[in-house]
Amino acid sequence: MTAVIPGSDPHDAAGNSSGTPLLLGLRCVRCGARGEPREDTAGCPDCRAEGVPAAMLAEHDLTGTDGVELARRWAARREGMWSYRELLPVAREHAVTLREGGTPLVPLAVGAHEGSHRMLLKDERRNPTGSFKDRFYSAAVSRAAQHGYGTVALASSGNAGVSAAAYAALAGLDCVVVTAPGIPDVWRGLIELHGGRVLRAADVDQRWELLRDRAAVEGWAVLTNTSTIPVASHWAGIEGYKTMAYEIVEELGDSPEAVVVPVSRGDGFAGLWLGFRELHTLGIVRRTPRMIAAERYPSLSTASRLDLELPPEQPVDPDSFASSIGNPQGTVMSLRVLRESGGTAVVCSEAELRAATDRLAAAGVAAELSSAAPLVAADRLWREGEFSPEDRVVSLITSHASHQPATLP
């Protein structure tokens, strides 16, 4: 049984005659090819055939939509991310929601970062399962339930698995999480607490093959990447991430100068950028921010420096605790965000992440190690003169430290 958002809104009728945005379909981030909405995560078939797998993301028709009126509607609602339902991938009556979203921008206390810069934390720890993944899985599970799937499936050894299991339970769906052998007990326990079923793959890379093969046989709705060369997770979930951009602008009154995001495959990174672009198209903001990727391994950094089309795979530290940004290879999708926004990628070492985590904790913010990456990246860019002291820089804090007890003192 899906959870329905209470209340009614006279502006929720479908159709574009009243200026309501319509979902046109999916568009490839690399070649621009368009297609109907699909329920797989293989990406653009043409780009895959060329050896450069690229994501296909949602494209909305904003023609005739009054951005000022839309923003007024949004501001009048208090329903978390589903306040922005006009640009989400399912009708509101199919929304599977725990009132995720609505997270605040928190100024980082002076002394917790280098200098007196205007650092704001988008505190996604406050979502129902403690991470920003709830935005993705509220949207993605809503679509799966609407389309009649009985089981959702994904590859995860962390926050995504917990979030997917929680939203699947709320929707009355089964959830299968394909994990690496060494999934931490806290994440495994939370997945199982919500009724999720854990399938352990032989190793990290084998997760994709196991997920693809079992889903094809069982008819599961696959919600995450299934490719060895990473592409993206399900486009409907990425739509959920757009709402972070809407909330940032609603609170600030315009776009910040830069947004810094911990990036692995970059689903949240791409979703944020989509949101800012839509707000700009609607005339709600005057400009879009620079998007900064804080990465553990120099995949996007290398692709940017060498002007590559496909971010290269990088060697990884097997002892790293930055598992949420531990993917050795970035995506074409993330690289496109950097180039379109005039952004950059910054590599964060384990020592820098630990130091940044300590600094956040001293300001009252207990963050998962990977969530401290934006602090490392922003400080470095300020030191190098990439940001001015007056710039408003938003750093995305994606998950709570309690999800990673092994990193605690």
Same domain, 149 and 250: no
Whether 260 maps to a domain, the answer reads yes
pLDDT of residue 236: 98
Same domain, 200 and 252: no
Same domain, 121 and 172: no
pLDDT of residue 110: 53
Same domain, 117 and 258: yes
The structural domain count of the chain equals 3
Same domain, 335 and 242: yes
Q: Please identify, among 222, 251, 282, the residue that sits at the C-terminal boundary of a domain.
A: 222
Same domain, 160 and 288: no
Whether 61 maps to a domain, the answer reads yes
Whether 18 maps to a domain, the answer reads no
pLDDT of residue 3: 33
Same domain, 155 and 246: no
Q: Please identify, among 177, 199, 222, the residue that sits at the C-terminal boundary of a domain.
A: 222
pLDDT of residue 284: 97
Domain that includes residue 376, residue range: 105-128+235-407
Q: Please identify, among 188, 222, 256, the residue that sits at the C-terminal boundary of a domain.
A: 222
Whether 229 maps to a domain, the answer reads no
pLDDT of residue 111: 53
Same domain, 160 and 113: no
Q: What is the pLDDT along the chain (409 residues), one digit of tens a residue?
A: 233 333 333 334 333 434 679 999 999 999 999 999 999 999 999 999 999 999 999 999 999 999 999 999 999 999 999 999 999 999 999 999 999 999 999 998 655 555 546 799 999 999 999 999 999 999 999 999 999 999 999 999 889 999 999 999 999 999 999 998 888 888 899 999 999 999 999 887 888 999 999 999 999 999 999 999 999 999 999 999 999 999 999 999 999 999 999 999 999 999 999 999 999 999 999 999 999 999 999 999 999 999 999 999 999 998 898 889 999 999 999 999 999 999 999 999 999 999 999 999 999 999 999 999 999 999 999 999 999 988 999 999 999 998 887 777 7
Same domain, 114 and 253: yes
Whether 165 maps to a domain, the answer reads yes
pLDDT of residue 109: 67
Whether 94 maps to a domain, the answer reads no
Whether 115 maps to a domain, the answer reads yes
Whether 230 maps to a domain, the answer reads no
pLDDT of residue 115: 52
Q: Which residues pair with 295 in a beta bridge?
A: 347
Same domain, 292 and 176: no
Same domain, 118 and 161: no
Output the domain CATH number for residue 181. Answer: 3.40.50.1100
Same domain, 147 and 193: yes
